[in-house]
Amino acid sequence: MRYERVKNFVAEWTLSVALAVFIAGCPGDACPADKLVGDAERGAGLFASGDGMNANGGCQNCHCPDASGGCQFDAPNIQGEECQHLDERTRNPIVSHPGGKFDFSDQDVADIEAFLADWAK
Ligand code: HEC
């Protein structure tokens, strides 16, 4: 049954590497804004302000004032969007986001999240 043992070893090794890569890829604190209490009213201001292109807000130009999407560039509905996703699109883009990269603080992200959560109710 040597073959079985080699096979198990390879399977376990592959799993360990996959796990290590996964853990390394997750910074201990995935979304700092999650620790803060968001202010939906302030979030509404950020969502509305700016010209929308690399400005500190202006999401509504594309995502529409109620975040339901479709106002420009086929921007999707982002009602109820959560911290991690907001970060990945606005502050630390992991995909190119037509809205660009935004210079938000953790509090800004928490506030926008609170604003979007209100629309998801
Ligand atoms: C110039 C237009 C534009 C602006 C301004 C804009 N977005 Fe977007 N956004 C898009 C488009 C188009 C997509 C879909 C493509 C993509 O996922 O990158 C998108 C995707 C997203 C997504 C991912 C949604 C999903 O379901 O995957 C989030 C979250 C998001 N935007 C948040 C924001 C926030 C918050 C702002 C304002 C700070 C903003 N966007 C400003 C056009 C825009």
Does residue 48 come out as left (phi exceeding 0), alpha (psi in the -120 to 50 range) or beta? alpha
Ligand 1, atom nearest to 104 Cα: 38
Whose tokens are 């629309």? That residue is 119
Which has the higher per-residue pLDDT, 59 or 55?
59
Q: Whose CA is nearest to atom 3 of ligand 1?
A: 99
Q: Whose CA is nearest to atom 10 of ligand 1?
A: 75
Residues with CB under 6 A from ligand 1: 52, 57-59, 61-63, 72-76, 78, 81, 85-86, 89-90, 95, 97-99, 102, 112
CATH number listed for the domain at residues 32-120: 1.10.760.10
User: pLDDT class for 28, splitting at 50, 70, 90?
Assistant: very low
Instruction: Determine the pLDDT at residue 103.
Output: 84
CA–centroid distance, 91 to ligand 1, in Å, is 12
pLDDT at 83 over 50: yes
Share of the chain above pLDDT 90, in %: 45
Among residues 92, 75, 86, 73, which one has the least CA distance to residue 113?
86
pLDDT at 22 over 60: no
Arithmetic mean of pLDDT, 1-28:
61
Look over the chain and give the mean of its residue pLDDT values, rounded to a whole number. 82
pLDDT at 99 over 90: no
Q: What is the DSSP-derived secondary structure letter of residue 120?
A: H
Instruction: Determine the pLDDT at residue 56.
Output: 62
> How buried is 111 (Cβ within 10 angstroms: 0-12 exposed, 13-18 middle, 19+ buried)?
buried
Task: Please name the residue ranges forming H helices in the chain.
Answer: 2-25, 40-48, 60-63, 83-90, 106-120
Euclidean distance between CA atoms 34 and 70, whole angstroms? 27
CA–centroid distance, 19 to ligand 1, in Å, is 31
